[in-house]
């Protein structure tokens, strides 16, 4: 997938904006700098503990805008429905979209609905595109410097475990709820206290490991992650042991990785902890001059190992 | 569908922008007025005479922006792919998207790709959202006045017949090519010669009849259409007779309906005819004080009949 996007799309649609490979495109519109992003959602099942495809579609796009330093403003809603989809299901999802948009302070301003025959799509797919106004300029992988702190805003992997356990009918002692949430409030609090935040990204598909791998790709720095400082709940850890997953590769939908000048890391953490979504925020690693282009993990067991990007398929239909 | 959108979505997502029910949302961004739109494409087959799902996805969004008086600028691209889709197919579609975007003068600035298991989607679905800058203000159903002329830019129904004949394996004497095309150039020419253009809309799903029906809904005017002035090619007419369709209900993807003060209709037609896409532009009807909320057709056979919105299903997966 990663190879496909790189080789095919980037070549075909080569232009400066797309090549920046941000979660959002940064556009000059009149006297404003705007962010523009799109995401399709194909999560299966469409309802899972802690959310559904509707709220997920809003949060995902709100978060893609937020991590670019933008205030999310407007959202579009494209739905593809399978013929025969229960009207009650559609109503529930619509209410969920609406509630999520209200909570995140964005307006659904334009939409489109297509219906395909039974069997031509799995229940419902949703695309949301979003427009936001940049209020914090210069967030970029290129701003990252050795010694910078790597903050993770909260426990990782809950979204993936929630969706997987619902899909596979696996239950744990208590059900794991998705972390799906709008990050704009939390991000704003962090950005308000430091002018030295370098870069942010929400670790969705492929989790923290994949997000960090994308950061170090072709970079002149490496990342050292302290496994014991990575927030993971006991439930997620147990589920991972049972299912053979590494939490570092599991998708989050309401967590953010923030790279910040280490001198400001303390006050950014304090600010984040004042937000319900950032209560468990932690410095989980730092940028290194060594290990150029690589990520090293200081493991719980006291060793040090290389973290690589998933070579095979990532978990399908997790978002 | 129409009822579903009206009753469910409009109620759920009630806000001023969405309620305007334009093809695009009109947004104030800084010192600019922008249009924002989204559309998903599920056309079957994905390749048809005159185009494919890729070019169609670009044209559709370019056209939705154009008919709002906006210059299309930026496009997002969300793809949902069925596992196992031939890479050559994907390459062909990507090239087609790129060529269509270049021709229309828009940049694909952000994208997303999801892959679902075989059987969970039919080959490929594409969502394009677009942002354009409004350069012609005030286009609105509310600006329409009795006596205004209703112009159709060219022969109708070719897109629908092209897709249907490919899908059903029906061939006519010569193959009908889709009219799928970017309308921004044509629209700009029309808008350049008259400050009294009231409203524009591209007659896609449900064709001219549905677009006009949406215009007269709750309006204080009616529309009288002169059937013999409606541009239809002989091939489309024959295909319609064979298949039992009324060309008025067939989707176009490169045609525009323009409502203009009748005093300016002549010069608008002349300007449009200078564009290859507008060579067959014609005044096909006019706005009436009578028939409030209704459309009357002066038929080829000399009668007069009411044109209604399709009550059943429109042709599925035509775009």
Residue A258: closest CA among A148, A160, A142, A133: A148
Neighboring chain A residues of B111 at a CB cutoff of 8 Å: 9, 13, 18, 38
Cross-chain residue pair A9–B78, CB shorter than 8 Å: no
Of the residues B11, B26, B27, B38, the best mutation for testing chain A's interface (the one with the most A CB atoms within 10 Å of its CB) is B38
Cα gap A298→A296, rounded to integer Å = 7
Cα gap A162→B5, rounded to integer Å = 31
- For the segment B276-316, what is each residue's pLDDT rounded down to a tens digit? 999 999 999 999 999 999 999 999 999 999 998 876 666 88
Put simply, whether A270 touches B (Cβ < 8 Å) is no
Cross-chain residue pair B91–A18, CB shorter than 8 Å: no
Neighbours of B112 (CB within 10 A): 23
Put simply, whether B30 touches A (Cβ < 8 Å) is yes
pLDDT above 70: residue A21? no
How far away is chain B from the Cα of A119, in angstroms, using its nearest Cα?
7
Largest CA distance in chain A: 57
- In sequence order, the 6+-apart residues with CB closer than 8 A to the CB of B25 are A74, A76, A109, A110, B17, B18, B35, B36, B37
- For the segment B225-269, what is each residue's pLDDT rounded down to a tens digit? 999 999 999 999 999 998 889 999 999 999 999 999 999 999 999
Q: 3-state class of B116 per DSSP?
A: strand
Put simply, whether B264 touches A (Cβ < 8 Å) is no
Q: Could you tell me how many CB contacts below 8 A there are between chain A and chain B? A: 207
How far away is chain B from the Cα of A111, in angstroms, using its nearest Cα?
6
Q: Which of A37, A40, A111 sits opposite B110 (nearest CB)?
A: A37
Neighboring chain B residues of A32 at a CB cutoff of 8 Å: 29-30, 32
Query: Strand A304-307 and strand A257-260: pairing?
Result: unpaired
Provide the terminal-to-terminal Cα distance of chain A, rounded to the nearest Å: 15
Put simply, whether B111 touches A (Cβ < 8 Å) is yes
> Which is more confident, A3 or B129?
B129
Cross-chain residue pair B38–A115, CB shorter than 8 Å: no
Put simply, whether A109 touches B (Cβ < 8 Å) is yes
The answer to whether the Cα torsion of B259, B260, B266, B268 is positive or negative is negative
pLDDT above 80: residue B171? no
Q: Is ipTM beyond 0.85?
A: yes
Q: Which of B4, B29, B101 sits opposite A29 (nearest CB)?
A: B29
Put simply, whether B3 touches A (Cβ < 8 Å) is no
pLDDT above 70: residue B273? yes
Put simply, whether A171 touches B (Cβ < 8 Å) is no
Residue A36: closest CA among B75, B39, B31, B18: B75
Task: Look over chain A and give the mean of its residue pLDDT values, rounded to a whole number.
Answer: 93
CB B107 within 8 A of CB B101: yes
What's the whole-model pTM score? 0.95
Q: Which of B34, B111, B317 sits opposite A9 (nearest CB)?
A: B111
Radius of gyration from C-alpha coordinates of chain A? 19
Assign A76 a pLDDT band (cuts: 50, 70, 90): very high
Put simply, whether A27 touches B (Cβ < 8 Å) is yes
- For the segment A39-75, what is each residue's pLDDT rounded down to a tens digit? 999 999 999 999 999 999 999 999 999 999 999 999 9
Residue A152: closest CA among A231, A211, A235, A247: A231
Cross-chain residue pair A110–B24, CB shorter than 8 Å: yes
- For the segment A240-267, what is each residue's pLDDT rounded down to a tens digit? 998 889 999 999 999 999 999 999 999 9
Residue B65: closest CA among B56, B73, B53: B73
């Amino acid at each position: 997938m990663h190879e496909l996007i790189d080789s095919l799309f980037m070549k075909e649609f080569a232009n400066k904006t797309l090549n920046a490979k941000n979660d959002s495109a940064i556009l000059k519109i009149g006297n404003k700098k705007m962010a523009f992003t799109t995401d399709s959602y194909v999560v299966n099942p469409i309802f899972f503990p802690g959310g559904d495809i509707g709220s997920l579609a809003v949060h995902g796009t709100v978060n893609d805008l937020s991590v670019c330093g933008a205030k999310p403003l407007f959202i579009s809603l494209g739905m593809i429905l399978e013929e025969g989809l229960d009207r009650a299901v559609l109503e529930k999802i619509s209410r969920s979209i609406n509630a999520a948009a209200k909570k995140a302070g964005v307006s659904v301003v334009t939409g489109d609905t297509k219906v395909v025959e039974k069997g031509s799509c799995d229940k419902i797919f949703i695309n949301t595109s979003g427009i936001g106004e940049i209020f914090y300029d210069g967030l970029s992988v290129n701003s990252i410097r050795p010694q910078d702190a790597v903050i993770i805003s909260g426990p990782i992997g809950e979204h993936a475990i929630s969706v997987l356990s619902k899909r596979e009918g696996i239950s744990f002692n208590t059900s794991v709820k998705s972390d799906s949430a709008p990050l704009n409030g939390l991000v704003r609090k962090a950005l308000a206290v430091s002018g030295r935040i370098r870069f942010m990204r929400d670790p969705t598909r492929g989790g923290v490991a994949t997000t960090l791998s994308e950061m170090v790709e072709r970079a002149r720095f490496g990342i050292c992650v302290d496994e014991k400082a990575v927030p993971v709940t006991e439930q997620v850890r147990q589920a991972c042991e049972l299912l053979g997953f590494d939490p570092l590769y599991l998708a989050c939908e309401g967590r953010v990785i923030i790279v910040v000048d280490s001198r400001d890391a303390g006050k950014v953490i304090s600010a984040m902890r004042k937000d319900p979504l950032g209560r468990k925020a932690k410095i989980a690693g730092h940028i290194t001059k060594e290990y150029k282009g690589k990520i090293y993990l200081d493991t719980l067991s006291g060793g040090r190992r290389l973290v690589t990007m998933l070579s095979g398929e990532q978990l399908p239909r997790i978002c």
